[in-house]
Amino acid sequence: MWDHMMRGRIDETPVITELRDDSGMLSLGLYASILRHYKQYFSTINVHLYDDLRSDPFKLISDIFSEMNVDLDLKPADLQFKSNDKEQNQKRFKLQELPRLSPETFKELTDFYRDEIRETQELIGRDLSHWLSEN
């Protein structure tokens, strides 16, 4: 949601205390629904998570290139950059501080997405239980 604040779509606040689906912010996180739709048209779907990008960008890119049968002409050092640096964006958009979710709003979000996350786990065969915890 902080991206929407930076772009002036919603009011700036240090603590997010309400859920809103402005610009489809919540709807875009309904991954199981999206995957079910794709599975109607494609027999194989390769799902890559932001978690993977954060933990091992080179492995993620290698896997994607391999799936496409493309030779990888990169080294891990080629992937050492930040394309969406929150601190840099905070300065650029002149936010006083990056907003955080209130504990109540976090609980609302996890309740809202719980079934979707569980179904997404089944569809992609990966444990996503950490998506439901605060830490």
Q: Which two structure tokens, joined as six digits, stand for 20?
A: 């809103």
3-state secondary structure of 125: coil
pLDDT of 83: 61
Residues spanned by the domain of 66: 2-132
pLDDT in tens, 44-79: 889 999 899 888 888 998 899 999 999 888 777 777
Q: In the chain, what is the greatest distance between 2 CA atoms, to the nearest angstrom?
A: 47
Place of tokens 């606040």: 13
Orientation of helix 103-124 relative to helix 31-39, angle to 10°: 20
Q: What is the pTM of this model?
A: 0.75
pLDDT in tens, 19-43: 777 777 788 899 999 999 999 999 8
What is the count of structural domains for the chain?
1
The CA distance from 88 to 76, in Å, is: 23
